[in-house]
């Protein structure tokens, strides 16, 4: 007696619950590591490299075990080559007993670090938990709504193409049963019987009266059949469609950056972190995200990511050129009916004198109406942080942008000076909607 059972269709992830329990348990430590990795790791790693290693403290499972050294130990090994009884062998490094190759711990229990891979979901959840972004975003960020036709039940009116045959036939059947419409088989049965009686040469009186009743009932049936049609207009049902609002799942993120000589490696690196964080966040929200990189000096151009971050340009600084380029890209490729548009601008705050006014006009009149959100970060020299702690101080561009920020709630601006700043800044950018008024003087 034996059986084979095919379990392959059974649900996998049986241990998912245990995995979640573990994550809960180790949450504090995992979070520390995740936060550290945001601050310190190469940014390109953030989105994909989620392998982390956490200290075993708090997640170790203590057992009574023999210490790995000390005392007198006898061990048998195989593969002796030249040893004779009484030979002395150097003790291997690290004081482990026995011979080389012996592992320090047999089950990994003794390890100080526990390495494992977080799924992308888990990683981002942890990362954004602190920022509380997903919820904030749902309530605070506007969204372009598109409508899509969805099936919603049935109607009695409609176009023939939407005819629902099954539903119609059900209705028809019910009505025919209720109104007792004679079936075709019953009618032909009667007719046959009549014909049979008719063809008899000399029918008896009994048969004649029977013939009479049959004829009566046939007449009745035919009348009934006429009255109760097979399909009546009241039976007919159409599939109904109604427009349903659908959140738009496409977003485009436009990164604008000043790449003139005043923006050094450090500034670009900071800007990059900011952009990546924004991208990570948008990733949570939207199914499809396009990223457009626009760099500018005294003229702006759309470039690929590498050029954007790593190529050197010289020239003046005219911010408005980037805005022009941005508008052009939006007009050409990203109609607002289909795309959620996010703008992110990084700069060191310098601008060509006289251009600033143009920027404000453009932002207020053309750019902001198109954008879901526009974030501006000004990257400061660390020495400047003291001076510019107050929101009111600042270079021309900062001063000018403040007027835009006051007019548009979905315009945000912040200053950052070191990598550690980005994380809180990012949080403020998205969390500030409610207390924005309070911050402003």
Residues that bind another protein (CB under 8 A): 1-8, 10, 12-15, 17-25, 51, 59-81, 83-91, 97-103, 106, 108-110, 114-117
Considering the complex, state which of residue 117 and residue 407 has its C-beta at the smaller distance from another protein.
117
Q: Residue 30: exposed, middle, or buried by beta-carbon count in 10 A (0-12, 13-18, 19+)?
A: buried
**Using CA atoms, how far apart are residues 224 and 201, in angstroms rounded to an integer?**
32
Considering the complex, state which of residue 4 and residue 227 has its C-beta at the smaller distance from another protein.
4
Considering the complex, state which of residue 8 and residue 148 has its C-beta at the smaller distance from another protein.
8
Least spacing, CB of residue 146 vs another protein, in Å: 37
Least spacing, CB of residue 128 vs another protein, in Å: 22
Considering the complex, state which of residue 108 and residue 420 has its C-beta at the smaller distance from another protein.
108
Q: Which helix (H) or strand (E) holds 116?
A: strand 113-117
**Using CA atoms, how far apart are residues 357 and 401, in angstroms rounded to an integer?**
10
Least spacing, CB of residue 56 vs another protein, in Å: 9
Backbone angles phi, psi at 361, to 5 degrees: -60, -50
Q: Which residue has the tokens 């920020």?
A: 405
Give the sign of the dihedral formed by CA 381, CA 383, CA 386, CA 392. Answer: negative
Considering the complex, state which of residue 117 and residue 242 has its C-beta at the smaller distance from another protein.
117
Considering the complex, state which of residue 117 and residue 170 has its C-beta at the smaller distance from another protein.
117
DSSP, res 318: -
Least spacing, CB of residue 127 vs another protein, in Å: 19
Least spacing, CB of residue 41 vs another protein, in Å: 19
**Strand pairing of 373-379 and 145-155?**
unpaired
**Using CA atoms, how far apart are residues 356 and 318, in angstroms rounded to an integer?**
8
**Strand pairing of 145-155 and 238-247?**
antiparallel
Considering the complex, state which of residue 77 and residue 230 has its C-beta at the smaller distance from another protein.
77
What radius of gyration, in Å, describes the C-alpha atoms of the chain? 39
**Using CA atoms, how far apart are residues 319 and 300, in angstroms rounded to an integer?**
8
Considering the complex, state which of residue 5 and residue 149 has its C-beta at the smaller distance from another protein.
5
**Using CA atoms, how far apart are residues 247 and 25, in angstroms rounded to an integer?**
35
Least spacing, CB of residue 114 vs another protein, in Å: 7
Least spacing, CB of residue 3 vs another protein, in Å: 5
In the three-class reduction of DSSP (H, G, I as helix; E, B as strand; rest coil), residue 40 is classed as: helix
Least spacing, CB of residue 100 vs another protein, in Å: 6
Which residues face 53 on adjacent strands? 115
> How many other CB atoms sit within 10 Å of the CB of residue 334?
19
Considering the complex, state which of residue 95 and residue 261 has its C-beta at the smaller distance from another protein.
95
Strands laid side by side in the 340-347 sheet: 300-303, 288-296, 250-258, 340-347, 373-379, 411-416
**Using CA atoms, how far apart are residues 132 and 140, in angstroms rounded to an integer?**
12
Considering the complex, state which of residue 125 and residue 428 has its C-beta at the smaller distance from another protein.
125
Q: List the one residue out of 352, 366, 357 whose CA is nearest residue 300.
A: 352
**Using CA atoms, how far apart are residues 289 and 287, in angstroms rounded to an integer?**
7
């Amino acid at each position: 007696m034996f059986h084979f059972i095919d379990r392959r269709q059974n649900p996998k992830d049986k241990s998912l619950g245990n995995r979640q329990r573990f994550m809960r348990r180790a949450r504090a430590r995992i979070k520390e590591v995740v936060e550290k990795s945001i601050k310190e790791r190469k940014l390109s790693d953030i989105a994909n490299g989620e392998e982390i290693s956490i200290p075993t403290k708090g997640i170790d499972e203590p057992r009574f075990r023999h210490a790995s050294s000390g005392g007198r130990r006898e061990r048998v090994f195989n593969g002796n080559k030249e040893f004779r009884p009484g030979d002395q062998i150097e003790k291997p490094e690290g004081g482990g007993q026995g011979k080389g190759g012996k592992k320090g711990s047999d089950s990994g229990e003794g390890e100080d670090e526990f390495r494992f891979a977080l799924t992308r979901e888990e990683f981002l959840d942890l990362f954004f938990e602190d920022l509380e972004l997903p919820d904030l975003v749902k309530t605070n960020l506007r969204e372009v709504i598109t409508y899509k036709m969805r099936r919603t039940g049935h109607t009695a009116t409609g176009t023939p193409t939407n005819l629902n045959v099954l539903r119609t036939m059900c209705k028809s059947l019910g009505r025919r049963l209720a109104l007792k419409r004679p079936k075709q088989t019953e009618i032909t049965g009667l007719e046959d019987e009549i014909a049979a009686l008719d063809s008899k040469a000399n029918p008896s009186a009994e048969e004649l009266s029977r013939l009479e009743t049959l004829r009566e009932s046939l007449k009745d049936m035919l009348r009934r059949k006429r009255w109760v049609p097979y399909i009546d207009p009241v039976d007919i049902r159409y599939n109904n469609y109604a427009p349903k609002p659908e959140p738009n799942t496409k977003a485009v993120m436009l990164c604008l950056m000043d790449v003139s000589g005043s923006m050094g490696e450090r500034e670009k690196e900071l800007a990059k972190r900011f952009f990546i964080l924004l991208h990570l966040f948008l990733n949570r929200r939207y199914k499809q995200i396009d990223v457009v990189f626009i760099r500018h000096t005294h003229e702006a151009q759309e470039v690929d990511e590498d050029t954007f971050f790593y190529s050197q340009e010289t020239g003046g600084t005219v911010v408005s050129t980037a805005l022009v380029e941005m508008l052009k890209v939006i007009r050409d490729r990203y109609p607002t009916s289909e795309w959620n548009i996010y703008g992110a601008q990084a700069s060191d705050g310098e601008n060509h004198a006289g251009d600033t006014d143009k920027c404000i006009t453009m932002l207020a009149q053309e750019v902001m109406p198109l954008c879901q959100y526009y974030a501006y970060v000004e990257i400061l020299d660390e020495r400047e942080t003291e001076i510019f702690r107050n929101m009111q101080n600042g270079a021309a561009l900062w001063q000018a942008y403040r007027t835009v920020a006051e007019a548009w709630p979905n315009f945000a601006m912040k200053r950052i000076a070191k990598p550690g700043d980005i994380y809180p800044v990012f949080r403020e950018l998205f969390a500030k909607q409610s207390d924005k008024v309070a911050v402003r003087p």
